[in-house]
Amino acid sequence: MATSLGANTYNRQNWEDADFPILCQTCLGENPYIRMSKEKYGKECKICARPFTVFRWCPGTRMRFKKTEVCQTCSKMKNVCQTCLLDLEYGLPIQVRDTGLDIKDDVPKSDVNKEYYTQNAEREIGNSDGTRPVGLLGKAPSSSEMLLKLARTTPYYKRNRPHICSFWVKGECKRGEECPYRHEKPTDPDDPLADQNIKDRYYGINDPVADKLLKRASTMPRLDTPEDKTITTLYVGGMGDTISDAELRNHFYQFGEIRTTTIVQRQQCAFIQFATRQAAELAAEKSFNKLIINGRRLTVKWGRSQAARGKEAFQDGVSEMGTRLDPVPGLPGALPPPPALEEDASTNYFNLDPGASPNVMNISLPPPPGINPPPPGFGAPMFHMGSMGPPPPMGMRPPGHIHYPSQDPQRMGAHAARHGD
């Protein structure tokens, strides 16, 4: 056992004996049927140096065995997992959580002060119901916009993968596929993420993972208020099929009067229109990256006016979401614009002879195919408008005669000799 008479001042009554560890869902694994080995007082806590019960288990196939690293008292003081020391609510390092909640909980590091601090924390934990954290964390606000942005909503099981095989890196591993370790190229030793310390993570100092997440939070986009004061509509996306109109109204009615609620089921989104601009701004501020209904995190954005939507839609190869559209190979190019209409443009839609008299129009039809035309004077009367003179000869077509290709005798099977008779 790691404790000694000189280093440990606790008596055996203060040693921790637990029946089940405090773990996050990632460390527990995706296998619902899990076996754990339990060893009473197996090791000392890496924070308070007090013996505690150690649990060891395998979170899944092709995963490495994991064990608890700190005691349950230290875990409850910071509301963290006993193995990975990440926050149980957000899945983030302690440094990121304390920065988002604007708290500073300085745990003493010397042996005497640490012992006194731990005893007071145990007394406070014993007097509480165990459902909420103790200390400054229990008095902090319930949520933060930055934490909701960075929080991981699903387990990240890649943290349970085996370590990299050092023999494979040197080219000396002879176990092949049976090797329980990973055969992958190691990360750069100069990478800050390659140097992580469990005590630094617990105390919230010099944590490279926390520094990376805080830099990501500083570059995240924010919801800017549009300059057009007539916009009072909010866009709600990612709804799915389980969220109804009543559930949306139950959340947004607290910010002001709602004029209309429109749900587009095909796009899985909705549009909430408020009666006043002040209510819309308040709803956007309180709901951006914070709106969770039926376990789904919804996207909240400002709507756009109809005039701006018509002008900006797919302009210059840019889509409605602001992304550049790449041309698709094989498709024809853009059509040229139509020619400008001139005032003196011709209105001759039927290609008539402009020199013909407009008051003369022959509306007689040619004979059917296969039938000889009647001799002059015995045929059907031909009506002429405007002039009462004799009709023109059959061999000559008057100016302005409309030619119908579908009624051409040669096209319809008539013989040329018969047509010339």
| Final residue in a domain of this structure, among 196, 220, 244 | 220
Which sign does the torsion angle of CA 136, 137, 140, 145 carry? positive
Is residue 29 domain-shared with residue 140, that is, in the same domain?
yes
Is pLDDT above 50 for 320?
no
The CATH code of the domain that includes 284 is: 3.30.70.330
Work out the angle at residue 322's Cα, subtended by the Cα atoms of residues 318 and 328, and round it to the nearest 5 degrees.
Answer: 40
Q: Phi and psi (nearest 5°) for 167? A: -70, -35
Whether residue 333 is contained in a domain is answered as no
Inter-helix orientation angle 94-101/208-218, to 10°: 40
Q: Are residues 279 and 204 in the same domain?
A: no
Choose one of 176, 191, 220: the last residue of a domain: 220
In terms of domains, do 104 and 22 share one?
yes
Among 35-39, 218-222, 279-283, 334-338, the least confident range = 334-338
Q: Which of 156, 153, 154 is nearest to 289 (CA)?
A: 153
- Indicate if 245 and 190 belong to the same structural domain: no
Q: What is the pTM of this model?
A: 0.55
Q: Which two tokens stand for residue 414?
A: 């008539």
How sure is the predictor about 95, in pLDDT bands with cuts at 50, 70 and 90?
Answer: very high
In percent, how much of the chain has pLDDT > 70?
69
> Between these two residues, 346 and 154, which has the higher pLDDT value?
154
Q: Give the pLDDT mean for 165-169.
A: 93
- Residue 69 domain-assigned (yes or no): yes
- 203 with 249, same domain? no
| Residues facing residue 292 across a β-bridge | 297
pLDDT digits (tens, 9 = 90+) for 67-86: 999 999 899 989 999 999 99
- Return the higher-pLDDT residue of 395 and 277: 277
Place of tokens 């926390």: 210
Structure confidence at residue 239 (pLDDT)? 86
357 assigned to some structural domain: no
Looking at 278, 310, 342, the residue that finishes a domain is 310
Is the pLDDT assigned to residue 225 strictly greater than 80?
yes
Beta-carbon contacts of 182 under 8 Å, excluding residues fewer than 6 positions away, are 161, 162, 163, 164, 165
Which of the given ranges, 124-138, 159-173, 222-236, 399-413, has the highest pLDDT on average? 159-173
Give the C-alpha separation, 230 to 225, whole Å: 12
136 and 105 in contact (C-beta within 8 Å)?
A: yes
Those residues with Cβ within 8 angstroms of residue 116's Cβ, 6 or more apart along the chain or in another chain:
108
Helices (H), 20-165: 25-28, 72-78, 94-101, 111-127, 136-139, 145-150
268 lies in the same domain as 305: yes
**Between residues 140 and 230, the one the model is more confident about:** 230
Q: Are residues 41 and 176 in the same domain?
A: yes
Q: Assess whether 192 and 242 both reside in one domain.
A: no
Report the chain's mean pLDDT, rounded to a whole number: 78
Q: At what angle do helices 245-252 and 277-287 cross, to 10 degrees?
A: 100
* Distance, first Cα to last Cα, the chain: 127
Q: What is the pLDDT of residues 360-419, one digit of tens each?
A: 445 555 666 666 666 655 555 544 444 455 555 555 555 555 566 666 666 655 555 454
Range of the domain at 256: 233-310
Cα–Cα distance for residue pair 318/324, rounded to 1 Å: 5
Residue 314 or residue 86, greater confidence? 86
How high is the pLDDT of residue 314?
A: 46
Query: Is the model's pLDDT at 101 over the cut of 60?
Result: yes
Q: Which two tokens stand for residue 226?
A: 């549009």
Phi, psi of 273 (to 5 degrees): -105, 125
Q: Are residues 153 and 78 in the same domain?
A: yes
Residue 373: per-residue pLDDT: 62
